[in-house]
Amino acid sequence: MRRTEADEVRLDRAFAALADPVRRGIIARLSRGPATVNELAEPFDITLQAVSKHIASLEQAGLVTRTRDGQKRPVHLAPAALEELTAWIDGYRLVHEQQFRRLDAVLEKAKEKKQS
Amino acid sequence: MTNALTVTAPEGLPFIDFTREFDAPVTAVFEAHRDPDLFRQWMTGDGFEMELDAHEFVSGGRWRYVHRDGNGEYAFHGMFHTVRENEFAIQTFEFEGLPDVVSIESLTFVDLGDGRTRLEGHAVYPTLEARDGMVSSGMESGMSSGYDKLEALLSSTKVG
Burial of B140 (0-12, 13-18, 19+ CB in 10 A): exposed
Task: Tell whether the model's pLDDT for residue B2 goes beyond 50.
Answer: yes
At residue B150, does pLDDT exceed 60?
Answer: no
Cα of A87 to nearest chain B Cα, Å: 6
Buried b (16+ CB within 10 A) or exposed e, B7-38: bebeeeebebebbbbbbbbbebbbbbbbeeeb
pLDDT at residue B142 in the model? 43
Report pLDDT for A90.
Answer: 60
Closest chain A residue by Cα to residue B118: A100
Q: Looking at chain A, which residue has its C-alpha nearest residue B10?
A: A2
Is the minimum CB–CB distance between A3 and chain B shorter than 8 Å?
A: no
Residue-level pLDDT at B159 = 39
Q: How many CB atoms lie within 10 A of CB A71?
A: 6
SS3 content of chain A, % helix, strand, coil (to 5): 65, 5, 30
- Residue ranges of A 17-76 with Cβ closer than 8 A to chain B: 18, 21, 24-25, 27-29, 31, 42-43
pLDDT bucket at A28, cuts 50 / 70 / 90 = confident
pLDDT in tens, A83-111: 666 555 566 777 788 889 999 999 999 88
Cross-strand bridge partners of residue A93: none
pLDDT for residue B138: 54
Contact at CB, B150 and A82, closer than 8 angstroms: yes
**Position with higher pLDDT, A85 vs A26:** A26
Higher pLDDT, A87 or A7: A7
Tell me what pLDDT residue B132 has. Answer: 76
Q: Which of B28, B153, B160 faces A42 most closely, judged by CB atoms?
A: B160
Mean pLDDT (chain B) is: 83
Of A27 and A31, the structure prediction assigns the larger pLDDT to: A27
Q: Give dist(CA B108, CA A1) in Å, integer.
A: 28
Check: pTM over 0.95? Answer yes or no.
no
**Measured between CB atoms, which of A28, A88, A108 is closest to B159?**
A28
> From residue B52, how far is each of A65, B28, B58, B74 by CA, in Å?
48, 20, 16, 12
Checking if the pLDDT of B29 tops 90, the result is: yes
ipTM confidence: 0.75
More confident site: B3 or A56: A56
Q: Assess whether pLDDT exceeds 50 at residue B124.
A: yes
Q: Which of B28, B142, B158 sits opposite A90 (nearest CB)?
A: B142
